[in-house]
Amino acid sequence: MKDPVLSFVVLFFSLSVLVSQTIAGRVKAPLLQQSNTNGLVFSKSFNSIYDTSMYGRLQLNNGLARTPQMGWNSWNFFACNINETVIKETADALVSSGLADLGYIHVNIDDCWSNLLRDSKGQLVPHPETFPSGIKLLADYVHSKGLKLGIYSDAGVFTCQVRPGSLFHEVDDADIFASWGVDYLKYDNCFNLGIKPIERYPPMRDALNATGRSIFYSLCEWGVDDPALWADKVGNSWRTTDDINDTWASMTTIADLNNKWASYAGPGGWNDPDMLEVGNGGMTYEEYRGHFSIWALMKAPLLIGCDVRNMTAETFEILSNKEVIAVNQDPLGVQGRKIQANGEDDCQQVWSGPLSGDRMVVALWNRCSKPATITATWDMIGLESTVSVSVRDLWQHKDVTDNASVSFEAQVEAHDCHMYILTPQAVVSRSDV
C-alpha cells in the first residue's frame, strides 16, 4: 500500500522551456521536454499531443515576438477609410481605456495610407489628404503614448488596394520605414507576378534587419503556399489562412485551418489566423467570446479589429479579460490545439494546451446549435489519471473546484465557449480512481 502522504504531495513534471532570450532568436528544439520519467502528472502521450517538434524552423533573429503580438489594426473596421486623425484617436483610446496597459501596444495602419504613386525619387509617400503630417510625426505621436506604430506594404508590385508595393524596392522601403520610426510591418501578397513567396519575402527580412531598427515582420501570405513548410527564418508571424470576415462560419473555419500548424509556433514566431473581429457586430456575444478564447489558446496575435473609440461594454469585457490574455502571453509559448471533437459535425470540441508552472488551459467549445455537455478527460488532454487538479473558470473569474480528477465537464450553451486553467494539486491513489 502506498504512503497516503503521497496524495497530498505536489509531484509535478517540469516543462523545460528551451527558449533563448537573446537576439540570437529561437533554438531549434522542441519546447517541451520531459525531465521526469515517473509519469506522475503528465501522461506518456503528453509530448505527442502537444507536439512542438517543428518549432524553430521559422526563425527570425531580431529578438522580437517573445510572446504573440497584441494591438490594433485598421482594416477590419475601417478598410480604406483611414486618416491620421483616426490613428491618433485610436492610440488615445487604447491608453484611456486601459487596453494599452493590458498589452495592446501595436497601432497598425493597414492598406491605403500611401499615395497612389511613388515620388520622383522612387520613394513611398503618405497620401497628402489623409496623412498630411506624414508618418514620422504620426509615429512620434504614437510613441509619446508609449505605443508602437505599424505600417503596411506588399510583396508585390502593388498593394491589394493598388498602391505601390515593395517588390524590388525592399531596401529603399525598409530604410524609409525605419527613418519614420516604424515598429511593425504587415507584408501582404497581392500583385506578386507569380513569383514564389519563398523568393519574395526574405529580401524584406534582410532589408529590415539591415536598417538596425527592430521592426516586427508580419508575413501576410494567406497560407497559400503553407508558410510553415518554406518560411525558414523569415518572419515573426505568418498568416496561415485567407482573410477573416465577421461571421461565425469564417471564424470557425479559420480556427480549424490554423490548428494544423500548431507544432511550428513558439517564442519568436507565431501562426497568424488573422485579426480579431470582436466588436464588429457580425457575431453574438457568445460567439465573440469563443473567438477570443480560441485565438488566445492558439497563441495567435491578438490584434483588435473594431473601432476602439466606440466599444460596447460587452466588447470591452471580452478584449480586457486579463486571465484569457495571460494564456495568450504565457511564456512557455506552446500553441494550444483541438484535442477532441464529438457530436454532429464534430461540434462538441475540447481544445487545450500546456502553460508554464505545470498548468493546462482547456476550452470547451460548443459549435453545435443547441446546448451540450462537453467532457475533457485526463487521458484526452495528456494528464495522468492519478492527478487531481484545481479548476478555474477564466470567464466567470472563479475557482470551480480544487480536486477534479479523471475528467472535467460542463454544460455549454450553443456557440459558446468555456475556458479553464487546470493546476495539478496532488496525486490520487489508484484505488480511489
3-state helix, strand, coil in the chain (%, to 5): 30, 25, 50
Q: Write out the catalytic residue numbers.
A: 188, 243
Residue 314 identity: E
Which grid coordinates are listed for 151? Answer: 505600417
Q: Which residues have a Cβ under 8 Å from the Cβ of 332 and sit 6 or more positions away?
A: 15, 17, 31, 354, 355, 356
Please report, for residues 84, 86, 100, 156, the alpha-carbon distance to residue 109 in angstroms, rounded to integers and kept in the order given.
9, 10, 17, 18
147: left (phi over 0), alpha (psi -120 to 50) or beta: beta
103: left (phi over 0), alpha (psi -120 to 50) or beta: left
Q: Give the Cα-Cα-Cα angle 368, 374, 380 (nearest 5 degrees).
A: 120
* DSSP β-ladder status, 398-405 and 387-393: antiparallel
Phi, psi angle pair for 297, to nearest 5°: -65, -35
71: left (phi over 0), alpha (psi -120 to 50) or beta: left
Paired with 70 in beta bridges are 302
Alpha helices in 153-284 (DSSP H): 170-180, 197-200, 202-210, 248-259
Residues in the chain: 433
- Candidates 173, 183, 158, 179; CA nearest to 204 is 173
C-alpha 217/C-alpha 244 separation (Å) is: 20
C-alpha 355/C-alpha 249 separation (Å) is: 29
Q: Give the Cα-Cα-Cα angle 182, 325, 31 (nearest 5 degrees).
A: 85
C-alpha 353/C-alpha 421 separation (Å) is: 10
C-alpha 285/C-alpha 2 separation (Å) is: 49
